Amino acid sequence: MIKGDHKGRPYILIIIEETLPGDGRPNRKRLYMPTAFAHTVSAIAITKVAGLKLPTVTWSVYLIAIICAVIPDADVLAFKFGISYHDILGHRGWTHSIGFSVLIGLFFAFLFYRKRSLRNRLGLALLFAICALSHPILDAMTSGGLGVALYWPFSEERIFFDHRPILVSPIGIKRFFSAWGWKVMQSEFYYVWIPSIVVFLGANFFELSKSTDKERV
């Protein structure tokens, strides 16, 4: 583990040694990610906004939206299968892309909402895709790790945004409850929680003013 500094803020790299296939040279994997809380909060805010346009946004829609926002990090399992971080099947690879977001959005909308109209299912697919896409967008704003393969399947290039204010999160519960974990929560609070809460409350305000308008009519 390496402690470092990024724009005056501390971070820690977790480095795992692996052996490269072929010549057997050692390779180092570095693991970073924002916390699942950040992805959950942004999915809730996005779903609240979608509810202004989409009819019947039930609790199950919120649940699946959250799953879509968190599921891209299931790709850390790739490490268990010896897949390198840099591989398109590795962490922050194809699951952190526009292509994957569209696929997962369509998958959940058409699997779980078969009884709804086609228009409604397409609306849900779009919502779930946006929630899934919010994940690599947040990852691309983190202070470390490898970039995300945002443009897969058209490009396997790993990208970051120019503005990267979100501190990367430690991997593992033990490390999470540390001084570093607390710093991560603070950075996510400013850059994810506050904007999400503002968006959620704004959508709630519109919703309430729409329903009072209807009551007046």
By beta-carbon proximity to Zn ion, the closer residue of 73 and 188 is: 73
Number of residues forming the site for Zn ion (CB under 5 A): 3
Give the count of beta carbons closer than 10 Å to the beta carbon of residue 91: 28
Cβ 115 to Zn ion, closest distance in Å?
33
Distant-in-sequence, close-in-space partners of 187: CB < 8 Å, separation ≥ 6:
9, 165, 166, 167
Applying CB under 5 A, the span of 73-81, 110-118, 122-130, 203-211 interacting with Zn ion comes to: 73-81
Neighbours of 31 (CB within 10 A): 21
Q: How far is the CB of 39 from Zn ion (least distance, A)?
A: 8
Peptide bond into 136 cis (omega under 30): no
- Distance of alpha carbon 15 from its chain centroid, rounded? 22
Binding of Zn ion at residue 188 (CB under 5 A)?
Answer: no
Give the nearest distance from C-beta 131 to Zn ion in angstroms.
Answer: 13
The residues in 123-142 that bind Zn ion, with binding defined as CB under 5 A, are 139
Report the 10 Å Cβ neighbour count for 116: 16
Among 12, 47, 73, 167, binds Zn ion (CB under 5 A): 73
| Closer residue to Zn ion (CB): 51 or 90 | 90
Which uninterrupted H or E stretch holds 122? Answer: helix 118-139
With contacts defined by CB under 5 A, name the span among 60-68, 69-77, 174-182, 194-202 that binds Zn ion: 69-77
Residues of the shown chain interacting with Zn ion in the complex, contacts defined by CB under 5 A: 33, 73, 139
